[in-house]
């Protein structure tokens, strides 16, 4: 007779859902002093249309990593305009961990963030443009290469171009070759741009 | 031979820094994020760390804070970032960086700081 492992059905009492799942109660729970309550609220608010703004506001001040993670998952699932606007707002945060978490969350929303990519790539803040290029890294969208070519042809900031070149080294095709050559000429005295563009061109030519 | 760990999620940046450091004889290893870097450092601490700020899973600040809390040799770390703002630099030093360089980093600039932090100014 085969050994049948006994199923463990106990739940961890510490993580039991204790609050009502009414949307108004969940919004209150999002500010609770107990992290478990906040985590459950963040998880359940995914079923409450219009809750993205509250989730984003909580995300900006939430210090518990597990709650932040759940908030980002809920925002990703909501994926509505308020969630997108809120995530973009967080890209401007001084909190590096939050910015990185938001970049990862936005990568999960290719169809939703694609329409705003062009605007973000033209943002006045070069850091936002760099994070936007980072989002493009995992964005399975047909315009990614064209957006990156646009960046290396026109962006004046060397680090935005450098980030775009890194990515073109992975996703670029012959369509990017001329722009990479123009970039090398534009930043002729920057050793990193020369190195990265040469590497990207080598990979493109090998393909 | 001094061992240096380069921590950056961008493969091209890792390769660029590796080429510069290996050209004068340093032994270089790479990590793609703070978690991988921490695992390597705990296994065998490095003589110096070159750390990017923005990385998935565990960013540069998180990596340095955790590294500095471990009971291992606390060797120097250079934080490298695209962000030049004072608050970013302050955060880096608070996390445990010994030096903060803004990208793009020129070879001579990187080597000067590496040598200084390793006490090899004559190299």
Torsion of CA A32, A36, A42, A46, to 10 degrees: -130
Please tell me the distance from the alpha carbon of residue B30 to that of residue A129, in angstroms, as a whole number.
26
H/E element holding B90? helix B86-95
Count of domains observed in chain A = 2
Of B15 and A9, which is predicted with more confidence? B15
* In-domain check, residue B109: yes
Cα dihedral B40, A131, B93, A62 sign: negative
- Mean residue pLDDT of chain A comes to 86
Q: What is the DSSP string of A50-62?
A: T-HHHHHHHHHH-
Give the one of B61, B91, B104 whose C-beta lies nearest to A159's C-beta.
Answer: B104
- Residues A128 and A96 grouped into a single domain: no
Please tell me the distance from the alpha carbon of residue B50 to that of residue A162, in angstroms, as a whole number.
18
* In-domain check, residue A79: yes
Cα dihedral B35, B36, B39, B40 sign: negative
The single-letter DSSP state of residue B75 is -
Please tell me the distance from the alpha carbon of residue A135 to that of residue A164, in angstroms, as a whole number.
11
* In-domain check, residue A1: no
Q: Which residue has the tokens 């030049």?
A: B84
- Interface subset of A 80-99, CB within 8 angstroms of B: 94, 96-97, 99
Q: Which residues of B touch A199 (CB under 8 A)?
A: 12, 15
Q: Which of B8, B10, B87 to mutate to test the interface with A (most CBs of A within 10 A)?
A: B10
* In-domain check, residue A125: yes
pTM as predicted: 0.82
Q: What is the pLDDT of residues A143-171, one digit of tens each?
A: 899 999 999 999 999 999 999 999 999 99
Domain enclosing residue B73, as ranges: 3-117
Q: What is the pLDDT of residues B22-36, one digit of tens each?
A: 999 999 999 999 999
């Amino acid at each position: 007779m085969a050994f049948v492992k006994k199923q463990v059905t106990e739940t961890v009492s510490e993580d039991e859902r204790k609050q009502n799942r009414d949307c108004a109660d969940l919004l209150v729970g999002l500010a609770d002093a107990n992290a478990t309550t906040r985590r459950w609220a963040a998880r359940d608010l995914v079923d409450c249309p219009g809750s993205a703004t509250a989730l984003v506001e909580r995300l900006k001040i939430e210090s518990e990593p597990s709650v932040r993670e759940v908030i980002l998952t809920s925002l990703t699932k909501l994926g509505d305009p308020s969630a997108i606007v809120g995530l973009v707002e967080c890209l401007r945060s001084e909190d590096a961990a939050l910015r990185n978490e938001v970049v990862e969350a936005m990568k999960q929303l290719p169809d939703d963030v694609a329409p705003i990519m062009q605007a973000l790539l033209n943002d006045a803040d070069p850091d936002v443009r760099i994070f936007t290029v980072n989002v493009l890294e995992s964005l399975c969208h047909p315009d990614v290469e064209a957006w990156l070519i646009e960046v290396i042809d026109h962006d004046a900031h060397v680090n935005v171009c450098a980030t775009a070149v890194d990515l073109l080294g992975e996703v670029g095709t012959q369509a990017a070759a001329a722009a990479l050559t123009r970039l090398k000429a534009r930043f002729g005295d920057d050793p990193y741009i020369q190195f990265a563009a040469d590497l990207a061109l080598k990979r493109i030519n090998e393909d | 031979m001094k061992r240096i760990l380069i921590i950056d999620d961008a493969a091209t940046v890792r390769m660029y820094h590796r080429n510069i450091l290996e050209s004068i004889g340093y032994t270089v290893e790479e990590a793609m994020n703070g978690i991988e870097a921490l695992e390597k450092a705990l296994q065998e601490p490095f003589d110096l760390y070159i750390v990017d700020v923005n990385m998935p899973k565990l960013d540069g600040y998180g990596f340095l804070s955790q590294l500095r809390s471990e009971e291992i040799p606390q060797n120097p770390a250079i934080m490298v970032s695209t962000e030049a703002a004072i608050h970013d630099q302050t955060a880096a030093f608070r996390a445990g960086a010994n030096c903060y360089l803004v990208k793009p980093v020129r070879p001579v600039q990187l080597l000067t700081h590496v040598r200084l932090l390793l006490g090899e100014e004559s190299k």
